[in-house]
Amino acid sequence: MIEKMSKGKSTKEKSNIKAQALLDKIKCLSKIKKYEFEDERNRKLIIEHAEKGILKNGLFTKRTDGGAEPVWFKVSVDGKYLNGDGWYGFINPPILVPDGTKRIIKDMNNNDIETENFKEDLENVIKLLLIMVVK
């Protein structure tokens, strides 16, 4: 879906589309229940809030310098903010995750190489991004 929406767009526009999609996804999930999950160390991560824009002195504003809008998640880990305020921001976040299947492609020397196939999965992207940054 996002890949189709991004076709023919500039890098900045693509980044903004992805940021908005992740923000919309977490806001949708959070309406259903408090969004929480566990990482590989069995720590409980809770996404308390999500926003898009520039974070300065605890407030969000629209970016005015022409750059891509970051998407932000406020995350606690076992009830604590590991980085002080709990906010983690991402510019031009990925939207694809491995789908568990592989395919064969050719390298520069025409040798076969096995590589992952990917799928769009915003919920898992959010989890993977946050698990990476709260280590």
Q: List C-alpha distances in Å: 94 to 54, 106, 126.
A: 19, 24, 9
Q: Are 49 and 74 in contact (CB under 8 A)?
A: yes
Q: Which pTM does this prediction carry?
A: 0.74
Quote the pLDDT of residue 63.
Answer: 87
Quote the pLDDT of residue 31.
Answer: 65
Quote the pLDDT of residue 26.
Answer: 80
Residue 15, token pair as written in the block = 């980044």
Above 70 in pLDDT, residue 30? no
| Span 59-75, pLDDT tens digits | 888 888 888 889 999 99
Q: 109 versus 92: which is more confidently predicted?
A: 109
Q: List C-alpha distances in Å: 130 to 60, 65, 66.
A: 20, 27, 26
Sign (positive/negative) of CA torsion 117, 35, 27, 40?
Answer: negative
Using DSSP's 3-state secondary structure scheme, residue 83 falls into coil
CA-to-CA distance for 82 and 112, rounded, in angstroms? 43
